[in-house]
Protein backbone atom coordinates (compact mmCIF):
# COMPACT_ATOMS: atom_id res chain seq x y z
CA UNK A 1 0.00 0.00 0.00
CA UNK A 2 1.54 3.31 -1.09
CA UNK A 3 0.35 6.84 -0.37
CA UNK A 4 1.86 8.44 -3.45
CA UNK A 5 0.87 9.34 -6.97
CA UNK A 6 4.42 8.69 -8.24
CA UNK A 7 3.86 5.00 -8.96
CA UNK A 8 0.56 5.73 -10.65
CA UNK A 9 1.99 8.42 -12.90
CA UNK A 10 4.90 6.17 -13.89
CA UNK A 11 2.59 3.31 -14.79
CA UNK A 12 0.20 5.64 -16.60
CA UNK A 13 2.97 6.96 -18.82
CA UNK A 14 4.33 3.48 -19.50
CA UNK A 15 1.01 1.89 -20.37
CA UNK A 16 -0.43 4.86 -22.30
CA UNK A 17 2.09 4.31 -25.08
CA UNK A 18 0.75 0.80 -25.72
CA UNK A 19 -2.52 0.29 -27.64
CA UNK A 20 -5.07 -1.33 -25.37
CA UNK A 21 -6.02 -3.85 -28.02
CA UNK A 22 -2.46 -5.23 -28.24
CA UNK A 23 -1.19 -4.64 -24.73
CA UNK A 24 1.20 -7.35 -23.48
CA UNK A 25 -0.53 -7.23 -20.11
CA UNK A 26 -3.62 -8.69 -21.76
CA UNK A 27 -4.62 -11.91 -19.97
CA UNK A 28 -6.58 -14.68 -21.65
CA UNK A 29 -10.05 -15.48 -20.35
CA UNK A 30 -9.77 -17.92 -17.47
CA UNK A 31 -6.25 -16.93 -16.35
CA UNK A 32 -5.82 -15.58 -12.84
CA UNK A 33 -3.77 -12.96 -11.08
CA UNK A 34 -3.74 -11.84 -7.49
CA UNK A 35 -5.01 -8.37 -6.62
CA UNK A 36 -2.36 -5.65 -6.34
CA UNK A 37 -4.04 -2.54 -4.99
CA UNK A 38 -2.41 0.85 -4.74
CA UNK A 39 -3.95 3.39 -2.38
CA UNK A 40 -3.31 7.07 -3.02
CA UNK A 41 -5.23 9.74 -1.16
CA UNK A 42 -8.26 7.51 -0.71
CA UNK A 43 -7.96 6.07 -4.23
CA UNK A 44 -8.22 2.32 -4.74
CA UNK A 45 -6.58 1.83 -8.13
CA UNK A 46 -6.65 -1.99 -8.03
CA UNK A 47 -3.78 -2.36 -10.51
CA UNK A 48 -3.67 -6.16 -10.53
CA UNK A 49 -7.37 -6.88 -10.65
CA UNK A 50 -8.58 -8.79 -13.68
CA UNK A 51 -11.66 -7.44 -15.42
CA UNK A 52 -13.75 -9.09 -18.13
CA UNK A 53 -14.12 -6.52 -20.90
CA UNK A 54 -16.41 -6.68 -23.93
CA UNK A 55 -15.75 -4.49 -26.97
CA UNK A 56 -17.84 -4.31 -30.11
CA UNK A 57 -17.44 -7.32 -32.37
CA UNK A 58 -14.98 -9.07 -30.05
CA UNK A 59 -15.40 -11.93 -27.57
CA UNK A 60 -15.03 -10.94 -23.89
CA UNK A 61 -11.40 -10.68 -22.81
CA UNK A 62 -9.69 -10.58 -19.41
CA UNK A 63 -7.67 -7.42 -18.93
CA UNK A 64 -5.82 -5.91 -16.02
CA UNK A 65 -7.74 -3.06 -14.47
CA UNK A 66 -4.99 -0.65 -15.47
CA UNK A 67 -5.24 -1.71 -19.11
CA UNK A 68 -8.95 -0.98 -18.96
CA UNK A 69 -8.10 2.53 -17.74
CA UNK A 70 -5.73 2.87 -20.69
CA UNK A 71 -8.47 1.84 -23.11
CA UNK A 72 -10.76 4.51 -21.65
CA UNK A 73 -7.98 7.09 -22.05
CA UNK A 74 -7.71 6.16 -25.73
CA UNK A 75 -11.44 6.69 -26.22
CA UNK A 76 -12.24 2.99 -26.65
CA UNK A 77 -15.79 2.17 -25.50
CA UNK A 78 -16.62 -1.07 -23.77
CA UNK A 79 -18.73 -2.97 -21.28
CA UNK A 80 -16.99 -4.21 -18.15
CA UNK A 81 -19.03 -7.39 -17.69
CA UNK A 82 -17.02 -8.89 -14.82
CA UNK A 83 -20.02 -8.88 -12.47
CA UNK A 84 -22.80 -9.00 -15.09
CA UNK A 85 -21.87 -11.79 -17.50
CA UNK A 86 -25.47 -12.99 -17.81
CA UNK A 87 -26.86 -9.61 -18.91
CA UNK A 88 -28.72 -10.10 -22.16
CA UNK A 89 -29.12 -13.86 -21.72
CA UNK A 90 -32.58 -13.58 -20.15
CA UNK A 91 -35.55 -13.11 -22.49
CA UNK A 92 -37.00 -9.68 -21.77
CA UNK A 93 -37.95 -9.02 -25.39
CA UNK A 94 -41.57 -9.77 -24.52
CA UNK A 95 -41.60 -6.36 -22.81
CA UNK A 96 -40.30 -4.50 -25.86
CA UNK A 97 -42.78 -1.98 -27.21
CA UNK A 98 -43.37 -1.81 -30.96
CA UNK A 99 -44.52 1.81 -30.92
CA UNK A 100 -45.04 4.73 -28.56
CA UNK A 101 -48.02 7.11 -28.59
CA UNK A 102 -47.92 10.61 -29.98
CA UNK A 103 -47.66 13.28 -27.25
CA UNK A 104 -51.11 14.23 -25.97
CA UNK A 105 -50.72 15.44 -22.36
CA UNK A 106 -50.10 19.00 -23.44
CA UNK A 107 -51.74 20.81 -20.52
CA UNK A 108 -50.06 18.71 -17.82
CA UNK A 109 -46.62 18.83 -19.44
CA UNK A 110 -46.64 22.56 -20.09
CA UNK A 111 -47.86 23.22 -16.57
CA UNK A 112 -44.99 21.22 -15.08
CA UNK A 113 -42.45 22.81 -17.41
CA UNK A 114 -43.44 26.26 -16.13
CA UNK A 115 -42.20 25.27 -12.65
CA UNK A 116 -38.65 24.58 -13.85
CA UNK A 117 -35.76 26.93 -13.15
CA UNK A 118 -32.00 27.20 -13.63
CA UNK A 119 -31.52 28.23 -9.98
CA UNK A 120 -31.48 24.72 -8.51
CA UNK A 121 -29.24 23.24 -11.20
CA UNK A 122 -26.70 26.04 -10.74
CA UNK A 123 -26.55 25.60 -6.97
CA UNK A 124 -26.51 21.81 -7.15
CA UNK A 125 -23.87 21.60 -9.86
CA UNK A 126 -21.58 24.02 -8.02
CA UNK A 127 -21.66 21.66 -5.06
CA UNK A 128 -21.43 18.49 -7.15
CA UNK A 129 -18.31 19.72 -8.95
CA UNK A 130 -16.63 20.78 -5.70
CA UNK A 131 -15.64 17.16 -4.99
CA UNK A 132 -12.08 16.57 -6.25
CA UNK A 133 -13.34 13.66 -8.31
CA UNK A 134 -16.46 11.53 -8.37
CA UNK A 135 -14.50 8.52 -9.62
CA UNK A 136 -16.40 5.42 -8.55
CA UNK A 137 -13.52 3.86 -6.55
CA UNK A 138 -12.52 7.03 -4.66
CA UNK A 139 -13.48 8.33 -1.24
CA UNK A 140 -14.78 11.55 -2.78
CA UNK A 141 -16.80 9.50 -5.25
CA UNK A 142 -18.57 7.89 -2.33
CA UNK A 143 -18.98 11.25 -0.59
CA UNK A 144 -20.49 12.85 -3.70
CA UNK A 145 -22.99 10.00 -3.95
CA UNK A 146 -23.99 10.48 -0.33
CA UNK A 147 -24.46 14.19 -0.94
CA UNK A 148 -26.62 13.48 -3.99
CA UNK A 149 -28.75 11.03 -2.00
CA UNK A 150 -29.28 13.63 0.72
CA UNK A 151 -30.15 16.33 -1.84
CA UNK A 152 -32.76 14.06 -3.43
CA UNK A 153 -34.30 13.45 -0.02
CA UNK A 154 -34.20 17.17 0.77
CA UNK A 155 -36.02 18.04 -2.47
CA UNK A 156 -38.60 15.34 -1.80
CA UNK A 157 -39.29 16.68 1.70
CA UNK A 158 -39.40 20.30 0.54
CA UNK A 159 -41.58 19.99 -2.56
CA UNK A 160 -43.73 16.84 -2.38
CA UNK A 161 -47.19 17.05 -0.88
CA UNK A 162 -47.96 14.59 1.90
CA UNK A 163 -50.04 12.38 -0.40
CA UNK A 164 -47.37 12.37 -3.07
CA UNK A 165 -44.59 11.75 -0.57
CA UNK A 166 -46.29 8.50 0.40
CA UNK A 167 -45.79 7.27 -3.18
CA UNK A 168 -42.06 7.97 -3.26
CA UNK A 169 -39.14 5.81 -2.22
CA UNK A 170 -35.41 6.54 -2.50
CA UNK A 171 -32.98 3.63 -2.23
CA UNK A 172 -29.32 2.98 -2.82
CA UNK A 173 -28.48 0.09 -5.12
CA UNK A 174 -25.32 -1.28 -3.49
CA UNK A 175 -22.10 -1.95 -5.39
CA UNK A 176 -18.91 -3.64 -4.24
CA UNK A 177 -16.80 -0.58 -5.06
CA UNK A 178 -18.57 1.67 -2.54
CA UNK A 179 -20.20 4.37 -4.67
CA UNK A 180 -23.78 3.14 -4.96
CA UNK A 181 -26.32 3.85 -7.67
CA UNK A 182 -29.48 5.70 -6.58
CA UNK A 183 -33.02 4.67 -7.50
CA UNK A 184 -35.95 7.00 -6.88
CA UNK A 185 -39.43 5.63 -7.51
CA UNK A 186 -42.83 7.33 -7.77
CA UNK A 187 -45.36 4.54 -7.51
CA UNK A 188 -48.07 4.43 -10.14
CA UNK A 189 -51.78 4.12 -9.38
CA UNK A 190 -52.76 1.26 -11.70
CA UNK A 191 -54.00 -1.56 -9.42
CA UNK A 192 -52.27 -4.34 -11.36
CA UNK A 193 -49.48 -2.14 -12.60
CA UNK A 194 -46.00 -3.57 -13.15
CA UNK A 195 -44.76 -1.20 -15.88
CA UNK A 196 -41.82 1.12 -15.21
CA UNK A 197 -40.58 4.28 -16.94
CA UNK A 198 -36.90 5.12 -16.27
CA UNK A 199 -35.15 8.50 -16.58
CA UNK A 200 -31.43 8.34 -15.85
CA UNK A 201 -27.99 9.93 -15.70
CA UNK A 202 -24.61 8.84 -14.35
CA UNK A 203 -23.23 10.45 -11.22
CA UNK A 204 -19.54 9.47 -11.46
CA UNK A 205 -16.77 11.41 -13.18
CA UNK A 206 -13.24 10.59 -14.29
CA UNK A 207 -10.13 12.25 -15.58
CA UNK A 208 -8.37 10.66 -18.55
CA UNK A 209 -6.20 9.15 -15.82
CA UNK A 210 -8.67 8.72 -12.98
CA UNK A 211 -6.39 9.57 -10.07
CA UNK A 212 -6.26 13.19 -11.33
CA UNK A 213 -8.96 15.79 -10.49
CA UNK A 214 -12.25 15.37 -12.35
CA UNK A 215 -14.93 18.00 -11.60
CA UNK A 216 -17.17 16.45 -14.28
CA UNK A 217 -19.41 19.49 -14.71
CA UNK A 218 -20.77 18.43 -18.10
CA UNK A 219 -19.94 14.71 -17.96
CA UNK A 220 -22.26 13.98 -16.31
CA UNK A 221 -22.92 16.55 -13.62
CA UNK A 222 -25.12 18.35 -16.12
CA UNK A 223 -27.32 15.32 -16.77
CA UNK A 224 -27.44 14.52 -13.06
CA UNK A 225 -28.83 17.91 -12.07
CA UNK A 226 -30.99 18.24 -15.21
CA UNK A 227 -33.08 15.21 -14.28
CA UNK A 228 -33.00 16.26 -10.61
CA UNK A 229 -34.63 19.53 -11.62
CA UNK A 230 -37.18 17.60 -13.69
CA UNK A 231 -38.02 15.56 -10.58
CA UNK A 232 -38.45 18.75 -8.55
CA UNK A 233 -40.79 20.18 -11.20
CA UNK A 234 -42.91 17.04 -11.12
CA UNK A 235 -43.19 17.30 -7.34
CA UNK A 236 -44.23 20.94 -7.48
CA UNK A 237 -46.89 19.93 -9.99
CA UNK A 238 -48.10 17.12 -7.68
CA UNK A 239 -47.48 14.51 -10.39
CA UNK A 240 -49.31 11.24 -9.64
CA UNK A 241 -48.38 8.74 -12.38
CA UNK A 242 -50.41 5.78 -13.55
CA UNK A 243 -47.29 3.76 -14.40
CA UNK A 244 -44.34 3.63 -12.03
CA UNK A 245 -41.80 6.36 -12.83
CA UNK A 246 -38.20 5.99 -11.68
CA UNK A 247 -35.19 8.30 -11.70
CA UNK A 248 -31.80 6.54 -11.68
CA UNK A 249 -28.35 7.97 -10.98
CA UNK A 250 -25.74 5.33 -11.89
CA UNK A 251 -22.31 4.71 -10.46
CA UNK A 252 -19.34 3.53 -12.48
CA UNK A 253 -20.46 4.55 -15.97
CA UNK A 254 -16.96 5.77 -16.80
CA UNK A 255 -15.52 2.33 -15.93
CA UNK A 256 -17.55 0.34 -18.44
CA UNK A 257 -21.20 1.00 -17.52
CA UNK A 258 -20.84 -0.89 -14.25
CA UNK A 259 -23.72 0.56 -12.24
CA UNK A 260 -26.33 0.52 -14.98
CA UNK A 261 -25.40 -3.04 -15.94
CA UNK A 262 -25.87 -4.15 -12.35
CA UNK A 263 -29.27 -2.48 -12.10
CA UNK A 264 -30.41 -3.69 -15.52
CA UNK A 265 -29.29 -7.23 -14.64
CA UNK A 266 -31.33 -7.11 -11.45
CA UNK A 267 -34.43 -5.84 -13.26
CA UNK A 268 -34.01 -8.42 -16.01
CA UNK A 269 -33.60 -11.29 -13.54
CA UNK A 270 -36.80 -10.19 -11.79
CA UNK A 271 -38.62 -9.74 -15.14
CA UNK A 272 -39.43 -6.11 -14.35
CA UNK A 273 -41.49 -4.63 -17.17
CA UNK A 274 -39.42 -1.58 -18.17
CA UNK A 275 -41.36 -0.10 -21.06
CA UNK A 276 -39.01 2.84 -21.72
CA UNK A 277 -35.63 4.10 -20.52
CA UNK A 278 -34.08 7.47 -21.38
CA UNK A 279 -30.46 8.42 -20.59
CA UNK A 280 -29.29 12.03 -20.09
CA UNK A 281 -25.51 12.24 -20.42
CA UNK A 282 -24.02 15.73 -21.03
CA UNK A 283 -26.68 18.43 -21.40
CA UNK A 284 -24.85 21.76 -21.00
CA UNK A 285 -22.57 22.51 -23.95
CA UNK A 286 -23.45 24.78 -26.87
CA UNK A 287 -20.43 25.10 -29.12
CA UNK A 288 -19.75 28.68 -30.10
CA UNK A 289 -21.09 29.48 -33.57
CA UNK A 290 -23.48 26.52 -33.69
CA UNK A 291 -27.25 26.29 -33.44
CA UNK A 292 -28.60 25.22 -30.06
CA UNK A 293 -30.01 21.68 -30.47
CA UNK A 294 -30.89 18.47 -28.67
CA UNK A 295 -28.86 15.54 -29.91
CA UNK A 296 -30.98 12.43 -30.47
CA UNK A 297 -28.75 9.37 -30.67
CA UNK A 298 -29.79 6.97 -33.43
CA UNK A 299 -27.37 4.04 -33.10
CA UNK A 300 -27.62 1.23 -30.52
CA UNK A 301 -31.00 2.55 -29.33
CA UNK A 302 -34.67 1.66 -29.73
CA UNK A 303 -35.78 3.41 -32.92
CA UNK A 304 -39.43 3.84 -31.87
CA UNK A 305 -38.48 5.36 -28.52
CA UNK A 306 -35.96 7.68 -30.14
CA UNK A 307 -38.64 8.85 -32.58
CA UNK A 308 -40.92 9.45 -29.60
CA UNK A 309 -38.22 11.68 -28.07
CA UNK A 310 -38.09 13.63 -31.31
CA UNK A 311 -41.84 14.25 -31.03
CA UNK A 312 -41.40 15.46 -27.43
CA UNK A 313 -38.73 17.93 -28.54
CA UNK A 314 -40.99 19.26 -31.29
CA UNK A 315 -43.97 19.55 -28.96
CA UNK A 316 -42.44 20.99 -25.78
CA UNK A 317 -38.93 22.37 -26.25
CA UNK A 318 -37.81 25.76 -27.55
CA UNK A 319 -35.00 24.29 -29.66
CA UNK A 320 -34.95 21.61 -32.40
CA UNK A 321 -33.39 18.16 -32.34
CA UNK A 322 -30.55 16.85 -34.46
CA UNK A 323 -29.67 13.21 -35.10
CA UNK A 324 -26.25 11.96 -34.03
CA UNK A 325 -24.40 8.72 -33.32
CA UNK A 326 -22.20 7.77 -30.38
CA UNK A 327 -21.05 4.18 -30.99
CA UNK A 328 -21.02 0.98 -28.99
CA UNK A 329 -21.47 1.05 -25.18
CA UNK A 330 -21.22 4.84 -25.09
CA UNK A 331 -23.54 5.47 -22.13
CA UNK A 332 -25.89 3.74 -19.71
CA UNK A 333 -28.75 3.28 -22.18
CA UNK A 334 -26.59 0.54 -23.71
CA UNK A 335 -26.95 -1.62 -20.59
CA UNK A 336 -30.74 -1.57 -20.89
CA UNK A 337 -30.64 -2.18 -24.62
CA UNK A 338 -28.38 -5.17 -24.03
CA UNK A 339 -30.97 -6.50 -21.56
CA UNK A 340 -33.63 -6.27 -24.27
CA UNK A 341 -35.44 -3.18 -22.99
CA UNK A 342 -36.35 -0.11 -25.12
CA UNK A 343 -33.70 2.51 -24.38
CA UNK A 344 -32.77 5.93 -25.74
CA UNK A 345 -30.09 8.58 -25.28
CA UNK A 346 -30.18 12.35 -25.65
CA UNK A 347 -27.11 14.58 -25.52
CA UNK A 348 -26.29 18.29 -25.71
CA UNK A 349 -25.59 18.40 -29.49
CA UNK A 350 -24.12 16.26 -32.20
CA UNK A 351 -21.06 14.43 -30.93
CA UNK A 352 -18.93 16.48 -33.29
CA UNK A 353 -20.05 19.68 -31.52
CA UNK A 354 -20.04 18.30 -27.96
CA UNK A 355 -17.78 19.37 -25.09
CA UNK A 356 -14.14 18.42 -25.70
CA UNK A 357 -13.10 19.25 -22.11
CA UNK A 358 -14.63 16.10 -20.63
CA UNK A 359 -12.41 13.64 -18.73
CA UNK A 360 -10.10 16.47 -17.74
CA UNK A 361 -9.65 19.08 -15.02
CA UNK A 362 -11.23 21.57 -17.43
CA UNK A 363 -14.70 20.01 -17.37
CA UNK A 364 -15.88 22.93 -15.23
CA UNK A 365 -18.85 25.29 -15.10
CA UNK A 366 -16.66 28.39 -15.55
CA UNK A 367 -14.41 27.19 -18.36
CA UNK A 368 -16.39 28.87 -21.15
CA UNK A 369 -19.59 30.73 -21.96
CA UNK A 370 -20.39 27.66 -24.05
CA UNK A 371 -21.49 25.97 -20.80
CA UNK A 372 -25.16 26.91 -20.60
CA UNK A 373 -27.68 26.37 -17.81
CA UNK A 374 -30.51 27.52 -20.07
CA UNK A 375 -29.51 24.73 -22.47
CA UNK A 376 -29.65 22.28 -19.57
CA UNK A 377 -33.16 23.50 -18.82
CA UNK A 378 -34.33 22.21 -22.19
CA UNK A 379 -33.31 18.71 -21.11
CA UNK A 380 -35.18 19.09 -17.83
CA UNK A 381 -38.24 19.91 -19.95
CA UNK A 382 -37.63 16.79 -22.02
CA UNK A 383 -37.38 14.61 -18.91
CA UNK A 384 -40.64 16.07 -17.55
CA UNK A 385 -42.40 15.41 -20.84
CA UNK A 386 -41.02 11.85 -20.98
CA UNK A 387 -42.30 11.10 -17.47
CA UNK A 388 -45.76 12.54 -17.95
CA UNK A 389 -46.45 11.31 -21.49
CA UNK A 390 -45.37 7.74 -20.80
CA UNK A 391 -46.18 7.55 -17.09
CA UNK A 392 -49.67 9.00 -17.39
CA UNK A 393 -51.23 11.29 -14.78
CA UNK A 394 -53.94 10.11 -12.45
CA UNK A 395 -54.13 13.43 -10.60
CA UNK A 396 -54.45 13.96 -6.84
CA UNK A 397 -57.33 12.45 -4.88
- Domains belonging to the chain, first-starting first, are 6-76 (no CATH), 93-391 (3.40.630.10)
Q: Quick one: pLDDT at residue 38?
A: 46
Catalytic position from the list 218, 246, 254, 293: 254
- What's the mean per-residue pLDDT of the chain? 89
The pTM of the whole model exceeds 0.75: yes
Q: Is the pLDDT of residue 29 over 80?
A: no
Mean pLDDT confidence for 244-260: 98
Q: Is the pLDDT of residue 35 over 50?
A: no
Mean pLDDT confidence for 219-247: 98
Confidence band of 21 (pLDDT split at 50, 70, 90): very low
Is 292 a known active-site residue? no
Q: Which of 27-31, 134-138, 181-185 has the lowest mean pLDDT?
A: 27-31
pLDDT, one tens digit per residue, over 276-309 is: 999 999 999 999 999 999 999 999 999 999 999 9
Catalytic position from the list 229, 281, 332, 363: 281
**H or E stretch including 250?**
strand 244-250
Mean pLDDT confidence for 352-363: 97
Mode of pairing for the β-strands spanning 168-173 and 181-186? antiparallel
pLDDT, one tens digit per residue, over 308-333 is: 999 999 999 999 999 999 999 999 99
pLDDT above 70 covers a percentage of the chain that reads 84
CB-based contacts of 44, cutoff 8 Å, min separation 6: 37, 38, 137, 138, 177
Catalytic position from the list 204, 229, 246, 253: 253
Catalytic position from the list 44, 65, 175, 202: 202
Catalytic position from the list 359, 363, 370, 378: 359
Q: Quick one: pLDDT at residue 78?
A: 95
Is 202 a known active-site residue? yes
Is 31 a known active-site residue? no
Q: Is the pLDDT of residue 26 over 50?
A: no
Is 281 a known active-site residue? yes
Rounded to the nearest 5 percent, the helix, strand and coil shares of the chain are: 35, 15, 45
pLDDT, one tens digit per residue, over 80-135 is: 999 999 998 766 555 555 689 999 999 999 999 999 999 999 999 999 999 999 99
Catalytic position from the list 54, 218, 219, 246: 219
**Does residue 31 have a cis bond before it (omega within 30 degrees)?**
no
Please name every residue paired with 173 in a beta bridge, in sequence order, or none if there are none: 181
Is 107 a known active-site residue? no
Residue 300's φ and ψ, nearest 5 degrees, are: 60, 40
pLDDT, one tens digit per residue, over 196-207 is: 999 999 999 999
Amino acid sequence: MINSFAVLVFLACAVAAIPASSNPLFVQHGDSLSDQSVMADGFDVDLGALRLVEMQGQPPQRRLHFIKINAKAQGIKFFDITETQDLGNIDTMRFKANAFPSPNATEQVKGAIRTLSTDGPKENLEKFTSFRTRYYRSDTGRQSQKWLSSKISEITTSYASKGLRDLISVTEFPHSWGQNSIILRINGSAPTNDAVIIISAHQDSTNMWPFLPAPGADDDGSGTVSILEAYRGLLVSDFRPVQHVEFHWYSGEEAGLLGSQAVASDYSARSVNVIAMSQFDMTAWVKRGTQEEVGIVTDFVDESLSNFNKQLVDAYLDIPYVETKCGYACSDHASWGKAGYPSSFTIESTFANSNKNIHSINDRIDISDEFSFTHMLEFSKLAVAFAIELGGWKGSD
